[in-house]
Amino acid sequence: MLRFYLCLYVLFLYAPIAVIAMFSFHSSPSLVFPFEGWSLRWYSQILESQTFKESLYNSLLVATLASMATTVLGASVALALIRMKGKTREVIATVCAAPIALPGLFLGISLLSAFAQMGLKRSLVTVTIAHTLYALPFFVATLRSRIDYFDSTLEEAARDLGASPWQAFRTVTLPILRPSLIGAAILVFALSFDELIITVFVSGNDTTLPMMVWSMMRRTVDPTINAASMIAFALSLIVIVAAGAAFWLQRRAKTSSRISPSGVDANEPLNRADEKRAQDVRPIQGLE
C-alpha cells in the first residue's frame, strides 16, 4: 500500500512536467488532446528568437553571479556560526533563516524602495543584489545541519599541529563544508533562475527568462512557451546532474584511495590485528 502512495506522489509531481514536455513536441498549436503528431517547430521558433536568447543569457548571468555572491556570504556566516556556542548560535541561525517566511511581494516592494532611496537604477545589477538577498536565507538554512554537527575540535587540532588559520580552513574546514556549500549553491542557482515576483519589481529594461514567459502568457497561450519551459528545465537538470556526478566521482576517488594496489582495503591489516588481539584476550576467571 505504501508503494502505491509513493507512485501516486511521484505521478503527482512529474505528470505536469510530462504534459508540458509532450506538448512542446506537438505538431499542432493546439494545447489539448487528441495528440496529432510530433514536431520540433516550436523549439526552432523559440531558438530563433533574439528576445529568448537575451532573456536566457540574462537569467544564467544573474543566477551565476547570485550563486557566487551567496556562497561567499553564506560561507562567512557558516564560519561565524561554527565558532559560536550554545543558545547564541541557535538565535543567530534562526534570525538568519527567518526571512524565508517573508512573501516575495513584500521583498520586492522593500527592495524597490531601497534602491530608489540609494539612487540605483534598475538593471541586472539590482536584480542580482535582490536575488542574493532573497536566496541567502535558503543558503544558510541548507548549511544548518552541517553547522550543528561540525566538530570544532578538528580545527583546534590542526592549529595545535602548527597550521595557520588559513591552512586550517583550507585543509580541514573547507573539505568538510564543501559538499554542503556546493549543494546550497545549486539551490540558490535554481531559485534565482526561476524567480519572477521580486524580479518584476527590481528589473529595468533587461528581461529574464521567467519575465519573458510571463509576458508571453499575458498576450496569448503560445506553444513556444512549452519549448522555452523545457529548455529552462533541461538547463536546471544539467546543473543538478553535473553536481551529482561531481559528488559521485569525488566519493569514488576517496574510496579508491583507501584500496591498496592489490585490491585489498588498506585498513584490513589493522582490522585483522584488532580481531586477533580480541581473540587472544581471555575472560578473567570469576568475571565470566
Q: How far, rounded to the nearest angstrom, does the alpha carbon of residue 46 sit from its chain's CA centroid?
A: 27
Reply yes or no on whether the pLDDT at 287 is more than 50. no
- Most confident listed range (71-75, 95-99, 168-172): 71-75
Reply yes or no on whether the pLDDT at 157 is more than 50. yes
pLDDT at position 275, please?
Answer: 54
| Structure-block grid coordinates of residue 115 | 534602491
Q: Mind listing the pLDDT tens digit for each residue in 30-52? A: 766 776 778 788 888 888 888 88
Name the fold adopted by 56-219.
MetI-like fold (1.10.3720)
Helices 50-82 and 124-148, axial angle in degrees (round to 10): 40
Average pLDDT (199-204) is: 86
Q: Mind listing the pLDDT tens digit for each residue in 158-192? A: 888 888 888 888 888 888 888 888 888 888 888 88
CA distance 81 to 93: 7
Q: What is the pTM of this model?
A: 0.76
CA distance 261 to 157: 31
CA distance 75 to 177: 9
Q: Whole-angstrom distance between the N-terminal and C-terminal Cα of the chain?
A: 49
143 within 8 A of 79, measured Cβ to Cβ: no
pLDDT at position 228, please?
Answer: 83
Q: Nearest-CA neighbor of 242 among 159, 199, 182?
A: 182
pLDDT at position 288, please?
Answer: 44
Average pLDDT (84-99) is: 77
3 state SS of 265: strand
209 within 8 A of 56, measured Cβ to Cβ: yes
